[in-house]
Amino acid sequence: MKKVFSIIVGVLLTASVFAQAPQKMSYQAVIRNSSNALVTNQQVGMQISILQGSANGTSVYVETQTPTTNDNGLVSIEIGVGTVLSGNFSTIDWVNGPYFLKTETDPSGGTNYTITGTSQLLSVPYAMHAKTAETVTGGITETDPIFTSSPAGSITTSDISNWNNKLDVEVDSSVTNEIQALSISNDTIYLSNGGFVKLPAVFDGHYSSLIGAPTNVSAFTNDAGYLTSEVDGSVTNEIQTLSLSGNDLTISGTGGNTVTLPAADGSETKVIAGTNVTVTGAGTTASPYVVNATGATTLTIGQSYQGGIIFWLDATGQHGLIAATADQSTGIHWYNGTSRYTGATGDGLYAGSMNTAIIVATQMADNQTGNFAAKVCADYSVTVDGVTYGDWYLPSKYELNLLYNQRVAVGGFASDYYWSSTDGDNDSAWQQDFVSGYQDGIVKAYPNYVRAIRAF
């Protein structure tokens, strides 16, 4: 299937480190139009964003540039010196990552960005963090005469372990009561010297004030009885007990109010009299019960989603990796006719996207018409419910193993070897046996199976 617009097929990032790290990064990309032809010697419009946390994270810096491609369709820019739309490149805290680079390109030179790519920044941009020393090695000799002549200069390790005995003046004639032993019972903290402190009640929301001590203590509830003012006359009804019978939800402590769970089509709305509680939204009377179905979508391994099948989810359960529903090739070589080292050595989560871009950019320079493992993945797209998903790539070695572990849930795999995008050397790249799970290097001319993946 021909894409409406081509993706940026090559990304190379560098960050030079001198006595002080420059506040910019070098970036290169090969630009192709919708006919897959190189856009040469032409000004293009680009918007570059630095995203924090994930490929869909918050942008901490956005700029635009209008570079001109060369005879090979290559643009070279320095990120950090363009027209700033938001953020400050020099103040980005590179330690607080991960960070992702998002590029949007208009081949006609304007701001109608039709080419989009996002990849994780790995180790290179963090050369800028070298301007902050993280460790100090070697001993430190104190030569400050003010320090050596101060009282602190004579404190020893023994003094620290016997601190109370080092004090020459004791204000209450006892050296044992400065630190109290504490115990707690219900709402009271007891001190070892016989004193006690009552814990304050939890604020119940009936009184609001600016930051600081509230002036209306009657606005608090205290179920232990320390504060005597109870706004509704009961200290037992702040937390309700719920019971369910059929599709009726009964709330204790409110006169036995009952609300009927909403119908599956969301047509029923029920208000509990006197409690200001409304139950709305699509629901069900079958376990597990759903009172309001307007929350986040629950995603699972093996679920069809965004043009493929989910095979890995992160800790949030809302982002992860999707595999294509079928193989993109049942036997294709890794290289494009020329054995060379591409430098696509990325491994780990989301590394396959950058690997694929590097491989396609390098190998297409050898042969403009050839086809190979990374390119069939980059060329793949699928349209679901009117949305076209075209950001597929050849998985890294690590991502390929995650896919192998969920091969049954995804389905459709051959009992054969599959290519990863992780390069080995001039002649070989990494593959995985989808029978035994064994990974090893094999010559790039070998015809292996290919299954594309994408991140979401």
Q: What CATH number is attached to the domain comprising 82?
A: 2.60.40
Asked if residue 170 is part of any domain, the answer here is: no
Asked if residue 61 is part of any domain, the answer here is: yes
- For the chain, how are helix, strand and coil distributed in percent, rounded to 5? 15, 30, 55
d(CA 314, CA 260): 36
What is the per-residue pLDDT for 141? 66
pLDDT digits (tens, 9 = 90+) for 439-449: 999 999 999 99
- Rounded to an integer, the average pLDDT of 370-387 is 95
What is the per-residue pLDDT for 271? 43
- Rounded to an integer, the average pLDDT of 232-258 is 63
* Same domain for 436 and 324: yes
* Same domain for 451 and 327: yes
Residue 387's nearest CA partner among 306, 303, 305, 297 is 306
* Same domain for 444 and 350: yes
* Same domain for 122 and 20: yes
Say whether pLDDT at 204 is over 90.
Answer: no
Asked if 10 and 358 touch (Cβ cutoff 8 Å), the reply is yes
Say whether pLDDT at 21 is over 60.
Answer: no
Tokens, residue 74: 């290559």
* Same domain for 279 and 327: no
Say whether pLDDT at 413 is over 70.
Answer: yes
What's the domain range around 67? 12-129
**Residue 80 Rama label (left phi>0; alpha psi -120 to 50; beta):** left
Asked if 359 and 421 touch (Cβ cutoff 8 Å), the reply is yes
What is the per-residue pLDDT for 146? 60
The residue with greater pLDDT, 239 or 407, is 407
What is the per-residue pLDDT for 173? 65
Say whether pLDDT at 234 is over 80.
Answer: no
What is the per-residue pLDDT for 43? 94
d(CA 164, CA 160): 9
What is the per-residue pLDDT for 140? 64
Asked if 271 and 261 touch (Cβ cutoff 8 Å), the reply is no
Say whether pLDDT at 252 is over 70.
Answer: no
Instruction: Name the one residue in this structure whose structure tokens are 């994780």.
Output: 120
Say whether pLDDT at 199 is over 50.
Answer: yes
* Same domain for 451 and 321: yes
d(CA 195, CA 189): 9
* Same domain for 377 and 269: no
What is the per-residue pLDDT for 196? 75
Give the end of a domain, one of 277, 295, 313.
Answer: 295
Asked if residue 412 is part of any domain, the answer here is: yes
Asked if residue 135 is part of any domain, the answer here is: no
Asked if 104 and 66 touch (Cβ cutoff 8 Å), the reply is no
Give the end of a domain, one of 196, 213, 239.
Answer: 239
CA 161 to centroid of chain Cα atoms: 46
d(CA 279, CA 139): 66
* Same domain for 285 and 330: no
Say whether pLDDT at 70 is over 90.
Answer: yes
- Greatest alpha-carbon pair distance for the chain in Å reads 93
303 CB-side CA count, 13 A: 14
Give the end of a domain, one of 129, 153, 169.
Answer: 129
What is the per-residue pLDDT for 211? 41
Using DSSP, state whether 259 is helix, strand or coil.
strand
* Same domain for 325 and 408: yes
Using DSSP, state whether 455 is helix, strand or coil.
strand
What is the per-residue pLDDT for 276? 42
d(CA 224, CA 187): 7
Q: What is the count of structural domains for the chain?
A: 4
What is the per-residue pLDDT for 177? 57
The residue with greater pLDDT, 209 or 121, is 121
In this prediction, residue 9 has a pLDDT band, given cuts at 50, 70 and 90, of very low
d(CA 59, CA 70): 29
* Same domain for 393 and 310: yes
- Rounded to an integer, the average pLDDT of 430-442 is 96
Neighbours of 349 (CB within 10 A): 16
Beta-bridge mates of residue 236: none
**Three-state secondary structure readout of 57-79:** CEEEEEEEECCECCCCCEEEEEE
**Does a cis peptide bond (omega within 30 degrees of 0) precede residue 22?**
no
Q: For all residues of the chain together, what is the average pLDDT?
A: 77
* Same domain for 262 and 217: no
pLDDT digits (tens, 9 = 90+) for 322-354: 999 999 999 999 999 989 999 999 999 999 999
Asked if residue 319 is part of any domain, the answer here is: yes
What is the per-residue pLDDT for 278? 44
Asked if residue 42 is part of any domain, the answer here is: yes
pLDDT digits (tens, 9 = 90+) for 90-148: 889 888 889 999 999 999 889 998 888 898 887 545 455 555 545 556 666 666 666 55
In this prediction, residue 23 has a pLDDT band, given cuts at 50, 70 and 90, of confident
Say whether pLDDT at 236 is over 70.
Answer: no
d(CA 359, CA 375): 8
Using DSSP, state whether 138 is helix, strand or coil.
coil
In this prediction, residue 275 has a pLDDT band, given cuts at 50, 70 and 90, of very low
* Same domain for 395 and 282: no
Residue 363's nearest CA partner among 339, 390, 381, 391 is 339
pTM of the model as a whole:
0.39
Asked if residue 404 is part of any domain, the answer here is: yes
Say whether pLDDT at 416 is over 60.
Answer: yes
